[in-house]
Chain A
Amino acid sequence: MAIIQKFSIAFDELLNNIISYGFDDEKEHIIKVNVELKGERLIITLIDDGVPFNPFKKDPPDTMLSVKERVIGGLGIHIVKSLMDEYEYKRNVDKNIITLVKFNINT
């Protein structure tokens, strides 16, 4: 099903982003992934306890990145935004919360 592939791509982009830029220590961190089906809406939530980091913001967090890295990084997020019907970032106390929604997954 295309939905599975699309979420796999979104996971690859977002999880690798979080892993690459979200943490500034050497400790073990946990990224929680919630999957919820509400009628025809598939809602996926990624929760991590890293530094405040909104991957959907235009500027990447590290301006020391090479131009090439920034272009490809921006590309991944652009793909996520295009594949998902809704996407949102929230900061809740010490957590980053990314929510992705696909509508009408059965059609």
Chain B
Amino acid sequence: MALEVKVDEVNHVVVIKLAGNLDTNTAPEAETAINSWLEKDAKKMVVDLEEAKYVSSAGLRVFLATAKKMTAAGGAVIFCSPNEVVQEILDISGFSTILNIKSNQEIALNEI
């Protein structure tokens, strides 16, 4: 099943919306899109999961790598709007305490 990556820039914040399924097949696509912005030296990023139906460990790996790269670059990434299943995966994996996760985009944009 597919993943669509939509990118927007809101007040110098790169908002990357991941729509669909984030799994072994589609994680590389998300990673490529995110990396292209990291290479452009983006310091503020919001990864919007509102339309993400589910995330497997492959997706979590991309989230973790993104957070680490951002931290190393002196920037910040906030994840927002996880649905019930995605939130459960984030909780099960312990990533809800490692990553910065907000319930909606507005809160994320305000904090970053």
Contact = CB atoms under 8 A, between A and B. Distances in A.
A79 B21 contact: no
B57 interface: yes
A5 interface: yes
Interface residues of B, number: 18
A76 B55 CA distance: 11
A5 B85 contact: yes
Interface residues of A, number: 16
Contact of B23 (A8, A73, A78): A8
B3 to A, nearest CB: 13
B89 A79 contact: yes
B100 interface: no
Contacts of A16: 24, 58
Contact of B57 (A2, A8, A75): A75
Interface in B51-100: 53-58, 60-61, 84-85, 88-89, 92-93
Contacts of B88: 83
Contacts of B53: 5
Nearest to A69: B61
B93 A9 contact: no
Given A2-B84, A2-B85, A5-B53, A12 B93 contact: no
Nearest to A16: B24
A13 interface: yes
A82 B92 contact: yes
- Most B CB contacts (10 A, CB to CB) among A9, A73, A76, A82 go to A9
Interface of B: 1, 21, 23-24, 53-58, 60-61, 84-85, 88-89, 92-93
Interface of A: 2, 5-6, 8-9, 12-13, 16, 72-73, 75-76, 78-79, 82-83
8 contacts: A5-B54, A9-B23, A9-B85, A12-B56, A12-B57, A72-B61, A79-B57, A83-B92
